[in-house]
Amino acid sequence: MSHEHEHHQTAPPEMRDAGSQALTEALRSSFVIVKIALVLLVVLIFAAGIFTVGPQERAIILRFGKPQGEGQQMLLGAGLHWSLPYPIDEVIRIPISELQKVTSTAGWYQTTPEMEAAGFEPPAGPALDPRIDSYVITADRNIIHVRATVTYHIDDPLHAIFDFAGGGTNQEFNLTGVAKAVQDVANNAIIATAARYNVDDILTHDFGGFQDAVEQRVRSLADAEKLGVAIDQCTVDRVPPRQLKDVFAAVSSAMQAHDKLINEAQGMTNRILSEANARAASLTNQAESARNNYVAAVKSQAAAFEQLLAAPEYRRNPRLYEQMKLAEAMTLVLTNVQDKIYLPLAADGRPSELWLQLNREPVQQKPGPNR
């Protein structure tokens, strides 16, 4: 707009002076160049505010030193972003991966992930040198190895990033400071928790409880120290000292033998009890049927007796009946009896004496060659 206005004003002298006209012409074109340069400069300044964030990092914009955004919003993810030019805005980059993970160092013997992957265990000396191998002391003053692996994520970047120095100068921002703080917390948690658990509880009897207690302490310390991280998981490993591996293995096999004995006894209990129950059932059943038989027998005897009493043949001569029955019985007895010895009375009418040598069991004939 002003451009046109200018043009209008300079029109009259144009006619008069060719020299000044040329000057005006030159000035006008140089003005245009300056204007374009200015616009370009402004564009450049704003374009300079464009920045990219890579996949393994996050960025935070500091406006006059103050982080922009609240909580997780503060962290700018991978992609294209824009900020005001320095010194108004400052972009800081933080190397970050999705999952943060640290392992405690204060309770394990010296090893490396490579050695562990290969299943290699450093040879055990007779004692533990505290400068090399770490361990925990349990409540009953035993020594075992314990380690905790804590996975966490950044919950409050304001604390996690700006409150913990991660080595280096204060121009550098990263998560090593807070990772170190989490590791210290994990170390403290295993030492402090082992200090109130007995060795067998940690190794076998109450390992779940121990692990929960470690996690509990990690969480409460992370809160108390305002680390700005949320604990996702805390897993605990424990092993007896390498020096005592054989002894501990022997204990566990003795415990297995112990359990086996008890299991066997319990199996036997079941057998004994079911046998007893079967025997009891058969006893009562037998008694039941014996009773029924007995009652029935007595009843039938009674009925027979009643019939006999009522029979006119018997009533007519009971003596004869008795004699007949006796004779019948004697016949049966004498048929059945193996040896029958008839011993007549002595002459004087007194019974004669007979001496017998009796064997309870019939003597087995020994097939002796001499006899």
Residue 306 touches another protein, criterion: CB under 8 A: yes
Residue 301 touches another protein, criterion: CB under 8 A: yes
Residue 308 touches another protein, criterion: CB under 8 A: yes
Rounded Cα–Cα distance for residues 124 and 109 (Å): 10
Instruction: Please identify, among the stretches 46-54, 93-101, 231-239, 287-295, the one whose residues bind another protein according to the rule CB under 8 A.
Output: 287-295
Residue 7 touches another protein, criterion: CB under 8 A: no
Q: Shortest gap between Cβ of 42 and another protein (angstroms)?
A: 11
Rounded Cα–Cα distance for residues 256 and 265 (Å): 14
Residue with tokens 């905790």: 148
Amino acid symbol at 76 = L
Rounded Cα–Cα distance for residues 317 and 325 (Å): 13
For 90, phi then psi, to 5°, come to -135, 135
Helix (H) or strand (E) holding 231: strand 229-239
Q: Which of 351, 367, 368, 369 binds another protein (CB under 8 A)?
A: 351
Residue 59's beta-bridge partner residues? 76, 93
CB of 78 or CB of 132, closer to another protein: 132
Question: For residue 178, how far is the Cα from the chain centroid?
Answer: 29
Q: Shortest gap between Cβ of 150 and another protein (angstroms)?
A: 15
Instruction: Please identify, among the stretches 148-156, 186-194, 205-213, 231-239, the one whose residues bind another protein according to the rule CB under 8 A.
Output: 186-194
Q: Which of residues 322-341 bind another protein (CB under 8 A)?
A: 322, 325-327, 329-330, 332-334, 336-341
CB of 341 or CB of 363, closer to another protein: 341
CB of 163 or CB of 237, closer to another protein: 163
Interface mask toward another protein for 39-68; x: CB under 8 A: -----------------------x-xxxx-
Residue 233's beta-bridge partner residues? 151
CB of 78 or CB of 332, closer to another protein: 332
Q: Shortest gap between Cβ of 78 and another protein (angstroms)?
A: 23
Amino acid symbol at 124 = A
Residues near 126 by Cβ (< 8 Å), separated by ≥ 6?
A: 243
- Name which of 192, 244, 241, 245 is nearest 214 in CA terms: 192
Q: Which of 16, 141, 316, 360 binds another protein (CB under 8 A)?
A: 141
Residue 128 touches another protein, criterion: CB under 8 A: yes
Residues near 82 by Cβ (< 8 Å), separated by ≥ 6?
A: 49, 50, 51
Q: Which of 57, 155, 156, 163 binds another protein (CB under 8 A)?
A: 163
Q: What's 92's DSSP letter? A: E
Amino acid symbol at 159 = H
Angle at 114 between CA 112 and CA 118, to 5 degrees: 120
Residue 91 touches another protein, criterion: CB under 8 A: no
Residue count, binding to another protein (CB under 8 A): 122
CB of 63 or CB of 101, closer to another protein: 63
CB of 52 or CB of 274, closer to another protein: 274
Residue 32 touches another protein, criterion: CB under 8 A: no
CB of 44 or CB of 273, closer to another protein: 273
Please report how the helices 207-224 and 176-194 are oriented relative to each other, as an axis angle in degrees rounded to 10.
140
Rounded Cα–Cα distance for residues 4 and 14 (Å): 15
Instruction: Please identify, among the stretches 14-22, 208-216, 230-238, 288-296, the one whose residues bind another protein according to the rule CB under 8 A.
Output: 288-296
For 259, phi then psi, to 5°, come to -65, -35
Rounded Cα–Cα distance for residues 99 and 31 (Å): 57
Amino acid symbol at 220 = S
Residue 287 touches another protein, criterion: CB under 8 A: yes
Q: Which of residues 100-119 bind another protein (CB under 8 A)?
A: 106
Helix (H) or strand (E) holding 51: strand 50-53
Interface mask toward another protein for 215-254; x: CB under 8 A: ------x--xx---------------x-xx--xx-xx--x
